[in-house]
Amino acid sequence: MWPLVRQARYLGRYREIAQVLVGHGFGALVHQLGLRSLLSLPRRMILHVPPPTPLGTAARLREALVALGPTFVKLGQALSTRPDLLPAEFVHELEKLQDTVPPFPHEIAVALIEASLGHSVGELFAEFSCEPLAAASLGQVYAAKLYSGEQVVIKVQRPDIAGRINTDLAILADLAALAQERLPFGQQYNLVELVWEFSATLRAELDYRREGRNADRFRLLFADNPAVHIPRVYWEYSEGRVLTSERLYGAKVNDPAALARAGIDAPKLAHNCLQLILAEIFSFGFFHSDPHPGNFFAMSGEVLGVIDFGQVGNLDRETTRALLLLLASIIDHDTPAALRALERLGLISRRDASPQLRRDLERFTENFIDRPLREISARETVTDLLTLLRRHQIRIPGPLAMLLKALVMMEGMGKQIDPNLDVFSIARPYVHRAVAEGLAPLELGGQALRGARTLSEVAVELPQQASDLLQRLNDGELHIQTEERELRRLAGAVVGAANRLAVALVLAALILAIGMVAIAVGVGGWTGTLPTLLLGLGGSGAALASLVLLVALFRGRE
């Protein structure tokens, strides 16, 4: 249903979005979404507006997103990480989107710093450069010096950017709902959920305190790693829209000439780049999800300096194990194991494992037969896998998509520094250690305990669920339609389940009875006090009754 309230509230922005789309040759899309009325133009003028340039559809989409502003640029960057959703042509084009815009006046930045921190810039900083070091869609960065002597950078959010982004996100939610209702692509994928994930990520990026906490967490995790340097956050000079942190000095990792001038050992630096993402994935389950070269510095001693922690991802242990299983299945050319890994990652269910999917996975794993690991590229592997998933309309979760994209970007950055970088040889120790930790007795015991806890919860809930099911059947709320053959099979399954439950209960009673006898014998033997004697006799009787019931149950199954 068309959101009339929001349409009235954001009418000007709706009209602007529709006009930009039409101007870039997407008039048919505007018409399909029902936005034509916002333009007050005849249908023929929307559907027959020629594209403004001879560019292809993907390039025109990129230009339209740039024209629509920061929210849509961020959306394009997020979509560039989703080759499971978009064809390769669109992904490659959206990867060109740069998060750079003209700077806003420094007077506005100074006023915002002073309003946020409660003091004048002169009171806060011994030196403050009015020329920004960088300007992006959400904010810009200035250099400064504290009175205690530390060189710092100050990240200042753009004025009113939060309001504009929240308006665009509300409109995007409406458009996603319309597309999901009216377009084939929208019906194929859950666009509403995708926009919700994107909105949550972008809103979190607007809170600089969260970015500072992420930096502190990375700094703690890599405290014992001399090859990685995470800048310190100065919380007394930071707030929700202002973040002050240690300034890093070094060469850009994608500048070979600067690396050579600084005497940086390129292979060692590339090795450190890849080790960073592998440690984040397999050791910490917490990773930098925007590892483009602008966020990394090559410092003295091949130390990797990392900045900008607005976009991060989290991995639980189950996801890490599933990724290990998937990696091992690819190396071993094991299609069944690859299917199990995809299932554990939550990408498919068992009923999704069609013969076509199995055949495609076999072709995928065959690509790695007889190939040295040093010749296998993470980009090639991830791209082929995501293309396969897209062919079968399998959508991957947002955090996993970010992880795969981050891994590809880090590999690309490492190979740009050292073309001979062997990804799998660097990954092998992490994989072996993670597998060994997963097979450790303590870890296996923990898994067994968690499984037993889950099973006990199911056992407790099963009688109530069965009672609810029978009540719904009795009330006519639930109907079962089946053929006689299926009914017999269903009846057999129900009887079998009932027998198994009965056996389990009788076994539990038998164990309890044996325990009672053991307690009685341990306390005073059969010549003890009357309560002890009664306990022993009661336990013996219960044990005998349990054995008789077990014999009867097993005879009934014959």
Annotated catalytic sites, by residue? Answer: 290
Tell me the DSSP string of 203-262: HHHT-HHHHHHHHHHHHHHTTT-TTEE-PPB-GGG-BTTEEEEEPP--EETT-HHHHHHT
Quick one: which of 176, 193, 172 has its CA closest to 185? 176
Q: How crowded is residue 403: how many other Cβ atoms within 10 Å of its Cβ?
A: 25
HEC string of 154-174 equals EEEECCCHHHHHHHHHHHHHH
> One-letter amino acid identity for 376?
I
Phi and psi of 190, rounded to 5°? Answer: -80, 85
Q: How crowded is residue 125: how many other Cβ atoms within 10 Å of its Cβ?
A: 21
In whole angstroms, what is the distance from residue 307 CA to residue 133 CA? 14
For residue 102, what is the DSSP state? Answer: P
Q: How crowded is residue 447: how many other Cβ atoms within 10 Å of its Cβ?
A: 14
In whole angstroms, what is the distance from residue 432 CA to residue 438 CA? 10
Q: Which residues pair with 127 in a beta bridge?
A: 145
